[in-house]
Chain A
């Protein structure tokens, strides 16, 4: 059993081991030199590809941004964002109620355990306040000195920081829906969801061209992509209403969708309460050869080809990816190895994936979402006429071709021949069901 004492021992040991490590004093110079060389190479490539126009646009955009404030930690939008903006910025009564909401929110904040509100400096400053489709909303900041405290990362202690509060009307009253301070004293959150249903996304304009995505697209080759749209900035923010049914936790904002880095958004809801749509089989199955189920560990090990594949069922900008709880392996008629499993990202359905072949010749595929209610939850065709994968835990599987005899009886999992037209599934202690194979 883990105790606080154990955690303290391990934390202390890790810090002790790392404590003697100091960066090369020349690090900045080295990085600059190499970075400039990289940039020259990149720019040369751009020029060579006649991207002169793109470069000119980028140069113009760079001139826009505001100088960083000289502070005792890295720059952040909260210090460079010139307030105050928004159509409510002249509404003193509203501004007062926002400040009151901010002051009254600290005790209930998740960041209270880090002590970030213990040494507030100056008065709160409202950076933006406006009407939105979700009602009134505002962004408030306040300086604070961070001290060593409970859950505060040690590196954050002894610094000045800019705290930020995100305010939205809830039940008609200004309410701080989230706050942030950011490691290193710099707020990392650059947008938040307003409204009780979190349907309105408000993103801070820090002179960056940003895009947003509301969800994922699953492709036959196993890849997962997102559709991106530019954020329409106006008066200091971009306000976007997401379609009904879109989970705030799945929305992402990024400057460059090609990079696995999304800006953090506040008030997205509890991302860790996803419903698990995976098949709860917890075993390893063999599609060919002996049909004895394997252990969970053996199944997960066999599924490593899928679990660790960055190109399969992975959204680099996604919260919470779930690897399969089961895995089926076998050998196809043409001698290739096949691995079948599933992956779930966030609250999306869990999708079936396969890896066919090995090494450089490995081929991945998406076999569609899992439906646990089907008599054979896993039933799909492999490419190249390598047959049909059929899996149902603790069931007996047989197939036939046309009106021929039932044959090939196996338990749990089977790789059926491409000629098979029907599969009969008989769960333990249950009735047989015939499922046509399409």
Chain B
């Protein structure tokens, strides 16, 4: 009976990973702004989830997201595993036919790396995942006002590298 239960657990866990791993990895990538760190981070979270699956099976997505955010905003937990990669970390090897896009990617990653960790997490949760501010506040253990402040600052920093500015200062 115990083995059957383990098999069921395994099947459910595998299903969860197959369905959600890509989205979680993308979030992890922007939370860490580092491909390798993101893979380490996600793998670490999934290993912990695998060990605790019987406890968290009712709400694995919530657990995964909370764990990702917790670890990503506590840099020491993953930073020591691997030194932070240089700006162009091999995600987009430059190709002549999409050099602009690569430059844009590098600029976005560059800005993300410069943001304080919690501000970066707010930006990712708000603008990549479309999470409501109240939910982000819960995830980060801060006030909605703090979320608003972080998201506004992060947005302004990213907008500056993404939206061309006219000589008169207006966005175009």
Contacts and interface: CB of A to CB of B under 8 A. Distances in A.
Interface of A: 2, 5-7, 9-11, 13-24, 27-28, 30-32, 34-36, 38-39, 42, 59, 62-63, 65, 67-68, 70, 72-77, 151-155, 182-184, 186, 188, 190, 206, 208, 255-256, 260-261, 263-264, 271-272, 274, 310, 314-316, 318-322
Contacts of A20: 91-92
* Residue with the greatest number of chain B CB neighbours at <10 A, chosen from A23, A63, A315: A23
Interface in B48-65: 48, 50-52, 54-63, 65
A108 B11 CA distance: 38
Given A18-B26, A27-B46, A151-B130, A261 B143 contact: no
Interface string B15-29: 111111111011101
B57 A11 contact: no
B79 interface: no
B62 A31 contact: no
B37 to A, nearest CB: 12
A62 B54 contact: yes
A16 B105 contact: yes
Nearest to B67: A261
Main secondary structure of the interface of B (DSSP, over half): helix
B51 A184 contact: no
Given A2-B152, A31-B43, A153-B131, A18 B30 contact: yes
Contacts of A152: 130
A35 B51 contact: yes
Closest 6 CB pairs between A and B?
Answer: A35-B50, A18-B26, A272-B144, A74-B16, A23-B21, A77-B58
Interface string B105-135: 1001100000000000001100111111110
A154 B131 CA distance: 11
A62 B52 CA distance: 11
B47 A183 contact: no
A251 to B, nearest CB: 13
Contact of A28 (B2, B8, B18, B70): B18
A296 B17 CA distance: 45
Contact of B15 (A62, A63, A74): A74
* Residue with the greatest number of chain A CB neighbours at <10 A, chosen from B16, B57, B138: B57
Contacts of B91: 20-21
* Residue with the greatest number of chain A CB neighbours at <10 A, chosen from B19, B70, B74: B19
B43 A206 contact: no
A186 B60 contact: yes
Contacts of A34: 43, 47
Nearest to B128: A14
Given A13-B108, A42-B51, A183-B65, 8 more contacts: A10-B155, A20-B91, A24-B39, A59-B2, A68-B11, A152-B130, A264-B59, A320-B141
A400 B125 CA distance: 54
* Residue with the greatest number of chain B CB neighbours at <10 A, chosen from A16, A59, A67: A67
Nearest to A314: B141
Nearest to B55: A255
B25 A22 contact: yes
Contact of A74 (B38, B54, B60, B162): B60
Contact of A261 (B8, B26, B63): B63
B143 A322 contact: yes
